[in-house]
Structure formats: structure tokens, C-alpha cells
């Protein structure tokens, strides 16, 4: 009898397992054949020349040929991240990465990324811009055809729409839109979308925030101010060293006039910041108030309605289907509602129902604006491209061969009612508070050719952009624009290191760029003063440590024997504004710094370079700098091995110069190398020694120079 019961139970379990397997069976489709994937490549011909550092110099008869070659070359170096970027933009990353990616897929639907593509791609993306996106997709598809085992199942073919969707999805994150959504989702500001992956983390997954800041420096000095008639541009974005928003260096040229060197992200067919023979620009992240959260009143008798102007109005509702990978071909299919109100996407949280309205909603022209910037030939052309006003944020520091310099606090500034304070949550029941469109390009804050000949930005207020008398003033702009008012340590040091009149030549500019000191007005200095002021007399060891801390000159040089104690004491306070993780009290931070150094180094005064390291594979090098110094070095955290590993900060850096005759020279450097994923490549970490020594590579700008330094030349799909 018992055997029959057990047999029946076993049979039932088998039936249930089969049923569950059928229910969860959700395999991704096979990719097309290599013949089908590579077919479009026949329409393009690009020459790729790799120089002595493996950097690709891509040339084509047409701009589109160059975009095709760029895609192929970048895929050779970082195909995995490109695929991850495409999967995230499609809203299908969870099918590959599992549940931690599901919120990202939901955001793609909530932001209406593909609704925007469906509505506007055919009508609002110019044909020449479509040609660039199509060519880039063809380059990826050729690489996929040649590397089927490396291509994620079901991801190919790549499309032009994927390229455009990537811009739509990612650009609002640069002013913190992801923070807004993640906060509303869970009221947990220690979680974020990992656009800045630390060691061991995958991009685009939800996880704890790191100490990596999305910051930057940009400096331009006119020939008049330089004292030697040389106009200089310092491009110095601070990004993660790896991942979907890490810089990849390339040069693009064509017979149609494209000629630009610079940095780009995985999935982008043009340079995002860099320089042409005639001009260049540096980008820095800005933090204007470009997002508004509206508190909605939901109908207690009908959860499908909200109150607007005294009436109950229906939400616009849809359902998104998320495919969440379990294992192998099995995935959990999850359906989630997507709601929108008149204001924008709706978040239903335990603490309320909210709508979000943000800069970049429904925008599809991001690639167009970047392409126009790549083709600009002078300041008028550059400003014309900027006037498209398709990019929701990001500062621009500009310089050119005619000795012009400029600062643009760029943004799609919501056309808000200036009578209201927009810094907090807004009432969601009034249609008159739903702003429409943006302020015109003419209203965007700009400072062109200031009298001192210097412009800069270090993620600080636009009211401090030059060292002369003609800075922008708060009274010149409506408060509803939400312009920044902050200073960073880097901007404070810029002010301290310049005086409005003394020449800033090459050595002066380099000394500014690689400055490793905290300002006496900085939060670091303030925190150290608080620690030193504590009465440590009852603890002799701590009193001795405090005495040493008081002697610190606030410098983060690698050979300093004070910087480790001071830097670790202030580290979490400085980065708290980025991580949203509350910093310990100054006394606690100091105690923990003393303990950590004692445990791991046996002393509280090791050289900073023993602690602060640039690590890449088997390469481990001491590096000067720290968080929010002009020589920006951000670690992921305090490691159990007694070191800090740089994961963000100074990345691709360029120093571009034009002499009085407009002749150009340029030097560049990256912290790692052009081979992003191949640890066996000679270019995996070949630039690291130069980078930590504050040395440069010569940028090869002419075809003759590129050929003279070539290590490999090929035509993707042709040979």
C-alpha cells in the first residue's frame, strides 16, 4: 500500500516538474546565419589602422564607412560590453543576467524608449544620421557573423534602432534620473543601476552604490592668456575605468570631411568628446534640476484613475512582459503594469504614487547632435550643432584654432513657471504645473571668450567658470532653471591656482591638472579640523595619530606619509554625496582609518602609493591623487588586502594645442589600454605606467603619421 502511495507521489512530482518546465521553458531564438548577418557589410569599406598602442584609426570614403569600421574595431576590444549595452537598451537584459537586471528592463518600458523609437525614428531622424546608425549596426553584425560563439543567443542582428535607443535610454542618467527612479521604487538610495561597475560587478545591474563619481574637469586657455600664443584645451572626464560609460579612444576620418579623435562609449558610432583639426570640446557632468516628481492622488474607488483639475482622469496603462533568466533555457515570465499620467511615467510605491517629468522625455535626436558636433568646422558650426538642444544635460568646455574659448552649461531646461519653487515634490492634481517644452537655446547659460581667457568646469556651479570679472551671475537666470550653486574641491583649487592675469602656459596647465591637494576651504579640510579638535588626551595612541593628522598638508601625493591617514579619514565623507551612503562621524572615520592602516600596514604612515593603486591584471602601480582632487582617483572601497584600487576618476585625457598659425598638436593617455577585455593582449595595460607617471602618448593625427606608427592594417569584411 505504502509503495503504491509513494509511487503515486513520485508520479505527481514528475508531472509537476514537467509542467513547471513547460511553463518556464523560454529559450532565446537562435541568431541568424553568418551569411545573413554579414550581408550588409558588402555595402561598406573601412580601413582600420591600429597604432603602436592598439588604438584604432578608422577611415572610409563616407562617414558611414568610418562608423562601420569603428563598430567592428570596438567589438574586437569590448564586444561583451557592447552586447550588454544593446540588451539593456532593448529592455531584455534580465533574459541574460537574471533578476537583478529586471528593474532595468522595466525602466526601458517605463521611459517609453521603444515607444519613442516607433513614433519618431522614421520621421525625426535625418537620413544621414540613420546612415551612421545603420553602418554601425552592420559593423557589429559582421563581427557577430565572424564570432558566433561570442555572440549572445537571440541578440543578433543588431539594428540602427538599437543604436538610437541606446542614446535615449542612457543620456538622462548623466544628470541622475536613475537615482530619482530608484529612490521612488524602493526608497533606498544605497541602490543604483550600475553604470559605474566596481570590480566584479556587471553593468546595468541593480546593486550597492560605489565610491565612483561621475565627475570631470574641463579647462580651456586662450593663446592670449597662455603667454606663448598657444591655445590649449584639457579634456579630462572622470568616468569608470571599465563598463558601458568608460571611454574608448578612436580616430574617425572620411573623404566627406569627418576628422575627429576622441572618446566614445560602447554602442556609439561617433565621438562624444574630443577634437578635430580645428576645434575641440571637453564634457563634464552637470547637476541641474531637470527632474520633477509629482505626488498623485489616486481615486480610492478606482485605482486606474488619478485626480487632475478636480476630476478623476484615467491613467494610460500597458503591460510589460519581463523574461527573467533562471538557468539554461528556463526563464520566469513576469508581467508588470506600466502607467503614465499627464505628467509622465508613474511609480506606485508603498509610500505613495508619483509621476516623473524629466528632461529628455521623448527625445530622439541625441545621435544627430553628436554627429553634427563631429562635423563642425568652426565656432559657428559648433554652436549651430549645440542649438539643436537635443542633449538633456552635460557641460561643454570649448576651444579652437582661432583662440576662442567658451563654457556652456548645457541642458534641456524645462519651461517651468518661475513663481513656483521646483526643488521639491510638486502637486500632481494641477495641469498648470505640467511644464511643456524647454527654454530656448538662447537662454542656456554660456560664457564665450571671457576677458581672462580662461574657462573651466569641475562639476561646480556655472557662476564660477572663469577667474576674471565676467562670470555668469544668478540674477541673470530664473530660479526655476535649477542651476547648480555648489563648489567642488577641484573648482576651489582652480580658483586658488589662478588669479585672472598670470600666464597659464603648458607647465602651468599641467600643474593645475595634476594637482593633488585639498583646498583649505574644502569639506576635507573641515573634517580634519573637527577630528584634530577632539580631546584625545585619554588615548595616547589616538592622540599621537591626531598629532600626525594635524601635520598633514592636505596633499595626496603617492610619496606622502600623511595622505593615507588623512585620505582614509575623509574618503567616505567626500564620496557620500555620490554613494548616498551616510558617512561615519569624523571621530569614527578617523578611528577606523587608524585601525585599518595598523592592521594591514603595521603603521599609520605608509606612503600613500602603498595604499592607493592602479591595478590591471598583473600590473599594480602606486598612483597619486584622491577623490575630488584635480588628479581624480576614486576607489571602489577599502579592501581587505590593505589597498584601494582605482575604479573611476581620470580616464582618457587629452591635451590639445593650437599655435598662432592654427597648427595643431595633441597628447593623450588612458589608464589601461585599448584592449578592454583581452588580458593576454599587449594593449591590456600598456598605458598604465605612463598614466601613473603623468606622462603622455603623442596623438597621431595625420594619415602619414598613423601609417608610420601602424602595427596592423585591415579592412573588416574584405581581408
Q: Render pLDDT for 221-272 as a digit per residue (tens, 0 to 9).
A: 999 999 999 999 999 999 999 989 899 999 999 999 999 999 999 999 999 9
Q: What is the pLDDT of residue 214?
A: 55
Q: What is the pLDDT of residue 209?
A: 53
What average pLDDT does the segment 352-369 reach?
Answer: 96
Cα–Cα distance measured from residue 601 to residue 564, given in angstroms and rounded to the nearest whole number: 11
Condensed to tens digits (0 to 9), the pLDDT of residues 515-558 reads 999 999 999 999 999 999 999 999 999 999 999 999 999 999 99
Cα–Cα distance measured from residue 477 to residue 455, given in angstroms and rounded to the nearest whole number: 19
Give 709's DSSP letter: T
Which three cell numbers, joined as nine digits, stand for 258?
A: 569627418
- With CA atoms as reference, report the closest residue to 371 among 144, 195, 134: 134
What average pLDDT does the segment 153-165 reach?
Answer: 97
Which three cell numbers, joined as nine digits, stand for 668?
A: 593623450
Position 181 confidence tier, pLDDT thresholds 50, 70, 90: confident
**Bridge partners for 669 per DSSP:** 653
| Residue whose cell numbers read 583639426 | 277
Which three cell numbers, joined as nine digits, stand for 120?
A: 519618431
**Bridge partners for 108 per DSSP:** none
Cα–Cα distance measured from residue 204 to residue 99, given in angstroms and rounded to the nearest whole number: 12
Angle, in degrees to the nearest 10, between helices 540-550 and 563-579: 80
Cα dihedral 121, 126, 128, 129, rounded to 10, equals -50
Q: What is the pLDDT of residue 709?
A: 98
Which three cell numbers, joined as nine digits, stand for 288?
A: 541641474
Position 203 confidence tier, pLDDT thresholds 50, 70, 90: low
What average pLDDT does the segment 1-23 reach?
Answer: 44
Contact 648, 240 (CB under 8 A): yes
| Residue whose cell numbers read 517651468 | 416
Please spell the DSSP secondary structure of 575-616, one letter per residue.
HHHHH-PPPPPHHHHHHHHHHHHHHHHSSS---HHHHEEEEE
- With CA atoms as reference, report the closest residue to 199 among 636, 623, 620, 612: 636
Residue 45 clears pLDDT 60, i.e. is over it: yes
* Distant-in-sequence, close-in-space partners of 167: CB < 8 Å, separation ≥ 6: 268, 366, 367
515-528 burial, b at 16+ Cβ within 10 Å, e below that, comes to bbbbbeebbbbebb
Residue 182 clears pLDDT 90, i.e. is over it: no
Position 577 confidence tier, pLDDT thresholds 50, 70, 90: confident
Which three cell numbers, joined as nine digits, stand for 232?
A: 590649449
Comparing 99-113, 240-254, 600-614, 677-691, the range with the smallest average pLDDT is 99-113
Give 268's DSSP letter: -
Cα–Cα distance measured from residue 351 to residue 358, given in angstroms and rounded to the nearest whole number: 21
Contact 556, 567 (CB under 8 A): yes
Establish whether the linkage from the previous residue to 157 is cis, with ω within 30° of 0: yes
Q: What is the pLDDT of residue 76?
A: 98
Mean pLDDT of the chain: 91
Cα–Cα distance measured from residue 300 to residue 261, given in angstroms and rounded to the nearest whole number: 58
Cα–Cα distance measured from residue 101 to residue 365, given in angstroms and rounded to the nearest whole number: 27
Cα–Cα distance measured from residue 607 to residue 565, given in angstroms and rounded to the nearest whole number: 10
What average pLDDT does the segment 494-501 reach?
Answer: 97
Q: What is the pLDDT of residue 482?
A: 95
% of residues, the chain, pLDDT over 70: 92
Q: Residue 507, class by beta-carbon neighbours within 10 Å (0-12 exposed, 13-18 middle, 19+ buried)? A: exposed
315: phi then psi, degrees, rounded to nearest 5: -65, 150
Separation of CA 147 from chain center: 28
- Alpha carbons within 13 A on the beta-carbon side of 31: 24
Residue 350 clears pLDDT 90, i.e. is over it: no
CA 277-368-219 angle, 5° bins:
45
Residue 14 clears pLDDT 60, i.e. is over it: no
Condensed to tens digits (0 to 9), the pLDDT of residues 384-422 reads 999 999 999 999 999 999 999 999 999 999 999 999 999
* Distant-in-sequence, close-in-space partners of 305: CB < 8 Å, separation ≥ 6: 298, 299, 312, 313, 314, 315
- Alpha carbons within 13 A on the beta-carbon side of 500: 7
Position 337 confidence tier, pLDDT thresholds 50, 70, 90: very high
Helix (H) or strand (E) holding 357: strand 352-358
Condensed to tens digits (0 to 9), the pLDDT of residues 623-667 reads 999 999 999 999 988 999 999 999 999 999 999 999 999 999 999
Residue 213 clears pLDDT 60, i.e. is over it: no
Q: What is the pLDDT of residue 177?
A: 82
Residue 19 clears pLDDT 90, i.e. is over it: no
Amino acid at each position: 500500500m505504502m509503495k503504491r502511495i509513494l509511487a503515486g507521489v513520485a508520479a505527481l512530482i514528475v508531472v509537476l516538474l514537467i509542467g513547471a518546465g513547460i511553463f518556464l521553458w523560454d529559450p532565446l531564438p537562435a541568431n541568424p546565419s553568418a551569411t545573413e548577418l554579414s550581408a550588409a557589410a558588402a555595402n561598406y569599406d573601412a580601413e582600420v589602422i591600429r597604432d603602436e598602442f592598439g588604438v584604432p584609426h578608422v577611415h572610409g570614403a563616407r562617414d558611414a564607412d568610418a562608423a562601420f569600421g569603428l563598430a567592428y574595431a570596438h567589438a574586437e576590444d569590448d564586444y561583451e560590453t557592447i552586447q550588454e549595452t544593446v540588451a539593456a537598451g532593448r529592455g531584455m537584459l534580465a533574459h541574460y543576467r537574471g533578476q537583478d537586471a529586471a528593474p532595468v528592463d522595466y525602466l526601458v518600458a517605463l521611459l517609453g524608449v521603444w515607444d519613442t523609437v516607433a513614433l519618431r525614428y522614421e520621421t525625426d531622424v535625418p537620413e544621414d544620421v540613420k546612415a551612421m546608425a545603420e553602418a554601425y549596426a552592420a559593423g557589429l553584425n559582421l563581427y557577430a557573423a565572424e564570432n558566433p560563439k561570442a555572440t549572445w543567443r537571440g541578440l543578433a542582428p543588431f539594428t540602427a534602432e538599437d543604436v538610437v535607443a541606446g542614446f535615449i535610454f542612457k543620456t538622462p542618467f548623466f544628470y541622475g534620473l536613475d537615482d530619482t527612479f530608484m529612490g521612488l521604487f524602493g526608497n533606498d538610495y544605497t541602490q543604483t543601476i550600475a553604470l559605474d561597475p566596481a570590480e566584479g560587478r556587471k553593468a546595468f545591474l541593480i546593486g550597492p552604490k560605489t565610491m565612483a563619481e561621475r565627475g570631470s574637469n574641463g579647462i580651456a586657455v586662450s593663446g592670449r592668456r597662455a603667454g606663448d600664443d598657444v591655445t590649449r584645451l584639457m579634456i579630462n572626464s572622470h568616468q569608470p575605468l571599465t563598463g558601458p560609460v568608460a571611454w574608448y579612444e578612436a580616430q574617425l576620418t572620411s573623404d566627406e570631411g569627418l576628422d575627429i579623435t576622441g572618446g566614445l562609449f560602447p554602442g556609439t558610432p561617433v565621438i562624444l568628446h574630443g577634437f578635430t583639426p580645428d576645434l575641440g570640446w571637453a564634457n563634464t557632468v552637470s547637476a541641474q534640476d531637470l527632474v520633477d516628481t509629482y505626488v498623485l492622488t489616486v481615486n480610492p474607488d478606482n485605482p486606474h484613475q488619478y485626480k487632475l483639475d478636480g476630476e478623476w482622469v484615467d491613467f494610460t496603462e500597458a503591460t510589460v512582459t519581463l523574461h527573467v533568466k533562471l538557468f539554461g533555457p528556463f526563464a520566469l515570465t513576469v508581467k508588470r503594469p506600466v502607467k503614465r499620467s499627464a505628467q509622465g511615467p508613474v511609480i506606485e510605491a508603498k509610500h505613495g504614487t508619483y509621476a516623473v517629468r524629466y528632461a529628455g522625455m521623448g527625445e530622439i535626436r541625441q545621435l544627430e547632435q553628436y554627429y553634427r558636433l563631429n562635423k563642425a568646422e568652426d565656432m559657428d558650426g559648433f554652436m549651430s550643432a549645440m542649438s539643436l538642444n537635443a542633449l538633456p544635460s552635460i557641460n561643454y568646455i570649448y576651444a579652437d584654432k582661432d583662440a576662442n574659448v567658451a563654457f556652456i552649461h548645457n541642458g534641456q531646461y524645462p519651461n517651468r513657471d518661475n513663481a513656483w519653487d521646483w526643488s521639491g515634490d510638486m502637486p500632481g492634481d494641477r495641469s498648470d504645473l505640467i511644464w511643456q517644452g524647454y527654454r530656448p537655446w538662447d537662454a542656456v547659460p554660456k560664457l564665450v571668450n571671457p576677458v581672462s581667457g580662461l574657462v573651466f568646469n569641475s562639476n561646480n556651479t556655472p557662476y564660477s567658470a572663469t577667474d576674471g570679472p565676467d562670470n555668469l551671475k544668478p540674477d541673470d537666470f530664473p530660479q526655476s532653471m535649477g542651476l547648480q550653486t555648489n563648489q567642488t574641491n577641484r573648482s576651489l583649487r582652480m580658483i586658488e591656482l589662478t588669479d585672472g592675469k598670470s600666464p597659464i602656459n603648458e607647465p602651468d596647465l599641467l600643474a593645475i591638472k595634476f594637482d593633488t591637494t585639498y583646498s583649505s576651504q574644502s569639506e576635507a579640510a573641515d573634517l580634519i579640523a573637527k577630528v584634530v579638535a577632539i580631546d584625545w588626551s585619554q588615548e595616547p595612541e589616538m592622540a599621537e595619530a591626531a598629532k600626525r593628522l594635524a601635520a598633514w598638508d592636505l596633499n595626496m601625493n603617492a610619496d606622502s606619509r600623511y595622505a593615507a591617514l588623512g585620505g582614509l579619514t575623509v574618503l567616505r565623507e567626500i564620496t557620500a554625496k555620490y554613494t548616498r551612503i551616510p558617512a561615519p562621524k569624523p571621530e569614527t572615520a578617523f578611528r577606523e582609518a587608524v585601525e585599518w592602516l595598523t592592521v594591514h600596514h603595521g603603521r599609520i604612515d605608509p606612503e600613500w602609493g602603498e595604499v592607493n593603486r592602479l591595478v590591471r591584471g598583473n600590473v599594480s602601480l602606486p598612483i597619486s591623487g584622491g577623490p575630488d582632487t584635480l588628479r581624480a582617483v576614486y576607489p571602489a572601497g577599502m579592501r581587505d588586502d590593505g589597498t584601494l584600487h582605482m575604479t573611476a576618476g581620470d580616464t582618457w585625457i587629452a591635451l590639445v594645442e593650437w599655435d598662432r598659425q592654427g597648427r595643431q598638436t595633441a597628447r593623450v593617455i588612458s589608464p589601461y589600454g585599448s584592449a578592454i577585455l583581452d588580458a593576454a593582449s599587449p594593449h591590456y595595460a600598456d598605458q598604465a605606467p605612463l598614466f601613473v607617471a603623468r606622462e603622455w602618448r603623442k596623438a597621431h593625427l595625420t594619415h602619414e603619421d598613423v601609417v608610420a606608427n601602424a602595427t596592423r592594417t585591415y579592412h573588416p569584411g574584405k581581408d
